[in-house]
Amino acid sequence: MFPNLMLPAITLNEKCEKLRKEVRAFLQNERKAGTYEPRCDSWLTGYSKEFSRKLGERGWIGMTWPKKYGGQERSALERFVLTEELLVAGAPVAAHWFADRQTGPLLLKYGTEKQKEYFLPSITKGELFFAIGLSEPNAGSDLAAIATRAKKKGTKWIINGSKIWSSGAHHAHYMIVLLRTSPVNPNNKYEGISQIIVDLSAKGVTIRPIYLMTGEHHFNEVIFEDVEVEEDMVVGTIGEGWKQSMEELAFERSGPERILSTYPLLEELINQLQYTEDEHAKVLIGKLVSRLWVLREMSLGVAALLEEGKTLNISASLVKDLGTQFEKEVIEVVRELVEILPSMNGKTRLEVLLAEAILHAPGFTLRGGTTEILRSIVAKGLGV
């Protein structure tokens, strides 16, 4: 009925399963060495430069990119397996996550040769990190309302404005900033928007922390005051930034991180279930696991089609919507079981993971596009 929603069924080949074993062995060793403690939402809050560098040494950042830019020319499905294992393990991957997931693919598609040669090899080594500069105080869901602007002066662009909710900008070296390079056309607000790479240590850039409920510093406000950027830092074509950044968002929305943010909590719940014979608990968990499996198949299907170069806004939006609902449901099931099953009480690790997941959960359905916006993309795409 809706051919643009059909996703292929994927069987992972031997190469993928071999890689899975390697990644698991690496993660087990790291756990044994005490390098990290599994966390929910580790792809946003698990920051470790050292860990990113270790992944880089193994060729596990930018692994699908061309070898001449430091990549390994491996398949999108191999990358899927790697990211799945890292998330399931709750490993600290936040430092390089955005550069690996979206900056690299964006530069490979739209960047100049000079940009690719300069940025990509250091990203693959786990040494260079990027932040995403989309949202502004008055432009979130209505992203085309951005007011940050760049004016041309000689060979430079002069940037003024501010970004908000910039994850990890205080750790990142660069930000790809979505901004206006010409005034708003009232007949087409998507025109005149561009993407420029900004060095976050440049004169005129101020990064202010916004603290989470947990007290953690994850978000930032980033202010640009007469920041000078050379014209060779423009990504793609001036005025085409809207289209470019929407393509970037398809990579952002469909990955396993939209399903697995609460996996360490689910796993700990299943570990604890060995102490109970409660049928209700088993049914609840059985349902969660079967839904997880279906969502994973969908996410795999999207990964396979993205590798073929397809544009998948509708499927990617659907995966994110269903995936983030699932992530929240894991929390609700654990909450219910902790209350009704005495054997679940006092399980410190379960409770720590639960508390962390509860505090992070409000962001699941906001980041990368809110549920309402995703549903509107799906409805419009299906002609509903």
Ligand X SMILES: Cc1cc2nc3c(=O)[nH]c(=O)nc-3n(C[C@H](O)[C@H](O)[C@H](O)COP(=O)(O)OP(=O)(O)OC[C@H]3O[C@@H](n4cnc5c(N)ncnc54)[C@H](O)[C@@H]3O)c2cc1C
Total Cβ atoms within 10 A of residue 216: 15
Q: What are the angstrom distances between the C-alpha of 68 and each of 55, 62, 113, 121?
A: 18, 12, 11, 8
Rounded distance between C-alpha atoms, residue 20 and residue 26, angstroms: 10
Q: Please, what is the minimum distance in Å from the beta carbon of residue 135 to ligand X?
A: 4
Strand partners of residue 340: none
Distance of alpha carbon 174 from its chain centroid, rounded? 16
Long-range pairs of 282-287 with CB within 8 A, sequence gap ≥ 24 = 284/333, 284/336, 284/337, 285/333
- Does residue 363 touch ligand X according to CB under 6 A? yes
- Does residue 42 touch ligand X according to CB under 6 A? no
Q: What are the angstrom distances between the C-alpha of 126 and each of 47, 61, 129?
A: 12, 7, 8
Residue nearest to ligand X (CB): 140
- Does residue 35 touch ligand X according to CB under 6 A? no
Which H/E stretch holds residue 364? helix 348-364
Binding mask 201-240 for ligand X (x = CB under 6 A): ----------------------------------------
- Does residue 188 touch ligand X according to CB under 6 A? no
Q: Please, which of residues 285-324 interact with ligand X by CB under 6 A?
A: none
- Does residue 134 touch ligand X according to CB under 6 A? yes
- Does residue 147 touch ligand X according to CB under 6 A? no
**Count of chain residues binding ligand X (CB under 6 A):** 18
- Does residue 165 touch ligand X according to CB under 6 A? yes
Nearer to ligand X, 141 or 206 (CB): 141
Q: Which of 42, 52, 83, 135 binds ligand X (CB under 6 A)?
A: 135
- Applying CB under 6 A, the span of 31-39, 115-123, 189-197, 363-371 interacting with ligand X comes to 363-371
- Applying CB under 6 A, the span of 4-12, 229-237, 240-248, 367-375 interacting with ligand X comes to 367-375
- Determine contact, residues 364/324, Cβ cutoff 8 Å: yes
- Applying CB under 6 A, the span of 21-29, 59-67, 231-239, 359-367 interacting with ligand X comes to 359-367
DSSP tally for the chain: helices H, then strands E: 13, 8
Q: Which of 64, 166, 262, 272 binds ligand X (CB under 6 A)?
A: 166
- Determine contact, residues 273/285, Cβ cutoff 8 Å: yes
- Applying CB under 6 A, the span of 6-14, 75-83, 132-140, 326-334 interacting with ligand X comes to 132-140
**Euclidean distance between the first and final Cα of the chain, in Å?**
13
- Determine contact, residues 161/224, Cβ cutoff 8 Å: yes
Q: Please, what is the minimum distance in Å from the beta carbon of residue 44 to ligand X?
A: 6
Name the residues that contact ligand X, by CB under 6 A. 44, 132-135, 140-141, 163, 165-167, 363, 366-367, 369-370, 372-373
